[in-house]
Amino acid sequence: MYQALYRKYRPKTFEDVVGQKVIKKTLTNSIINDKISHAYLFTGPRGTGKTSIAKILAKIVNCESLDNITPCNKCVSCTQINNKQNTDIIEIDAASNNGVDEIRELRDKVGLVPSFGKYKVYIIDEVHMLTTAAFNALLKTLEEPPKHIIFILATTEPHKIPSTILSRCQRFDFKKISVTDIKTRLNYICKEENINIEEEAIELIGKLSDGGMRDSVSLLDQLTAYTTEKITVNDVNNVYGTITEKEISDLLTLIFNNKLSETFDLISKYDEDGKNLTKIIETIIDFLKNTLIYFNSSEYFDNEEKKKLYSKTCDLITEDQIYKTIEILLDSIKSSKTTNNVKLIFELSIIKIIELTKEKVVVQKIEKQSEIPVLEEKKKIVTETKIEKKETNTKVKENVEKLKKIRINNTLAKFNKQEFVTFKKKLDNIKELLMDPDYSSVVSLILDGELKAKGGQNLLFVYKLKNLEECFNFSLIDIEKVFSKVFNEDLKPIAVFEEEWEPIKVEFNKHMKSKTNAYEYNEETISLEEIYEITKEESISNTNEIEKIFEDMIVYN
Ligand SMILES: [Zn+2]
C-alpha cells in the first residue's frame, strides 16, 4: 500500500524535526534534567512540527531504555506507540464534534494511572476549538494535575485560548520553517525516494509552502503522482495552481499596455485550466515586490533570466505605480474572501490598475510629441485629460443614480410578498447559464447579491460590497439579457448597497404597517442605451461580449 510521503517521513526523533532549534534544545534539557512540565502549549503556524514534537516527547517520557534523548524503539511502550496501540498516549482533535465528550471522559479518567509507561500523555490538537464547557473541564484538571499526567495543547490560534489555561502551561512558539531548511529536507526525501527533480522546482516548493514543512512534503507527493519524468518548475506551478514568473511578466505586460480584453482572455483561460486565481494574485504581488527590490538594487538577484523579467516590468511603469498596483491587489485578496467570485474581483482590480497606468501613457505621449518636455505643461495636460474623463463619468453616474431611484421606488410601489417569495425560489434557474462563457460572469455577479424585493417587473438586489453593487448597475443591459433568456420576461433589476438599503427598508416597513401607500409607480423615461451613452450600433456589437461590460466601466466608472 502506498504511504503518503509526509507520513513516511514524519520525524521520529527531535533530530529529524526540521527547524525549531530553540524548542528542541529546551525540551531536551528539561528531559535530561528531569524537569518535565505537566502542561505544554505549542503554538505556531500549521505544518511547523507541533504535533510531531508532541508525539516524540510523549514517546521519550515513556521509553524504558532511553538513549540520551532518543527513544529505543524496542521497549513495550515504544513498540506500542509505533503500532498505534499505546493507551497511555491519547490524542484528541478538539476540532472534531466529540471534543467536549472526550474532555469530559478525560476528566473522569485522569485519576487512572498509565498502563505501562510513567506518564499518560494527552495531546489536544486545535485546542482553541474547544467549547467553553470543555475548557472549564480541562481547567479543573490543569489546576491540580496528577503527577502521572502530561498535557500537550497545540494550536494555530493561541489568542483564542482563555488566559486561565494559558497561565498554567509552559508555552513554546513554533516558528515558520525557513526555505533553506525545507529545501534540505526535501532534497533528503527526494534522494531516499529516487525522485528526479530540478533544483529550481525544490526552491519553488519551499517558497510556496510558506514555512509549512507538511505542506511542502504533500506538494512533493502530489508532484510524484503528477509526473513520472523529472519534476520541473512548470509542474510545480501546474499542481499548485499558479503560474510561472515568465507568465506573470507576460500578464503584467498586457495589463500595463492597456490590453484589457487580451488580459481578460488570459484570466479566463487560467480559470478554465483550474488555476487558483487567488494564488495567482499572490504570486503577482510577490513578483512586483521583487521588481521593487530590483528597482533599488539590481545586484540583489543573481539569476539573469529573472533579472530580465523584472527589468522589463520596470520599463513599463513607475515605482509609485508598482506600490499602488500592489495595494489594489492586496485589497482584491481581502475582497475575494467575502465572495466566491474571485474572477470578477480579479478583473475589477485589473481595471483599476489599467486606470492607474493610463496616467503614465498620457505623460509618455506628451514626451514623444515635444522635444523638450516641460514639466508644467505635462501636468496641465494630465489634469485636463482627467477633468474631461471625469465629466463623462459624472454624467453617466448621475443617470445611473436617477434610474436607481426610479427602480427602487417602482419595486416598492408594486411590492407583493407572495410574488417575491415565488420568484426568489426560481432565481437559482439562472445557474443554468453559469457554464455558458457568454453569461457566466454576469450570472456569478447576480448570484453574489441577495434578492430582497420584487414588485411587478422590478427586482431589487442588495450587495455587501460597494464595487459589486456598482458593477451590477453598470451592467444592467447584460443582466436584463440573462433574465429575459432564463425567465422569458422583461425584468427591471437594480442593485442597492447594503448600507443604503437599511434606511429604505425601515421606511418601507413603517408604511406597510400603517397601510399607507407612499410609493407611486413611475414609468422609466430613459433607456439603458441612453443612460450608458451607447449608440445603437455599439449596443448591437456589444451583444454577449462580457468583456465589454468592463470596458464600459472604464469609460463610465
Ligand atoms: Zn523505548
Find the 80 Cα to ligand 1 centroid distance in Å: 10
Could you say which architecture CATH assigns to the domain 245-373? Up-down Bundle (1.20)
pLDDT at 467 over 60: yes
Domain 20-173, classified CATH 3.40.50.300, yes or no: yes
Distance CA 25, CA 36 (A): 13
Q: For every residue of 261-300, which 3-state class applies, written as one string?
A: HHHHHHHHHHHHCCCCHHHHHHHHHHHHHHHHHHHHCHHH
Q: For every residue of 73-134, which 3-state class applies, written as one string?
A: CCCHHHHHHHCCCCCCEEEEECCCCCHHHHHHHHHHHCCCCCCCCCCEEEEEECHHHCCHHH
Q: Is the pTM of this model over 0.75?
A: no
pLDDT at residue number 395: 78
pLDDT at residue number 386: 41
pLDDT at 437 over 80: no
pLDDT at residue number 98: 60
| Position with higher pLDDT, 188 vs 98 | 188
pLDDT at residue number 359: 59
pLDDT at 455 over 70: yes
Find the 309 Cα to ligand 1 centroid distance in Å: 55
Find the 65 Cα to ligand 1 centroid distance in Å: 5
* Helices and strands in the chain, H and E counts: 26, 8
Read off the pLDDT band of 254 (50, 70, 90). very high
Task: Output the average pLDDT for the chain.
Answer: 83
Find the 75 Cα to ligand 1 centroid distance in Å: 4
Find the 55 Cα to ligand 1 centroid distance in Å: 13
Question: How is the chain split into domains, by residue range?
Answer: 20-173, 179-240, 245-373, 391-556
Equal CATH topology for 20-173 and 179-240: no
Find the 62 Cα to ligand 1 centroid distance in Å: 7
Angle at 33 between CA 27 and CA 39, to 5 degrees: 50
Beta carbons of 123 and 55 less than 8 angstroms apart:
yes
Count, residues in the chain: 557
Dump pLDDT digits (tens) for 357-394: 765 544 444 444 443 344 444 444 444 444 444 444 67
pLDDT at residue number 548: 42
DSSP secondary structure letter of residue 533: T
Angle at 418 between CA 416 and CA 420, to 5 degrees: 70
pLDDT at residue number 217: 94
Domain 179-240 adopts which CATH fold?
Helicase, Ruva Protein; domain 3 (1.10.8)
CA distances from residue 223 to 4, 77, 96, 207, 489 in whole angstroms, order as listed: 12, 36, 30, 16, 50
Distance CA 154, CA 94 (A): 10
pLDDT at residue number 390: 41
Find the 374 Cα to ligand 1 centroid distance in Å: 81
pLDDT at residue number 123: 93
pLDDT at residue number 377: 46
Cell of residue 422, nine digits: 415565488
pLDDT mean over 197-217: 92
Find the 115 Cα to ligand 1 centroid distance in Å: 15
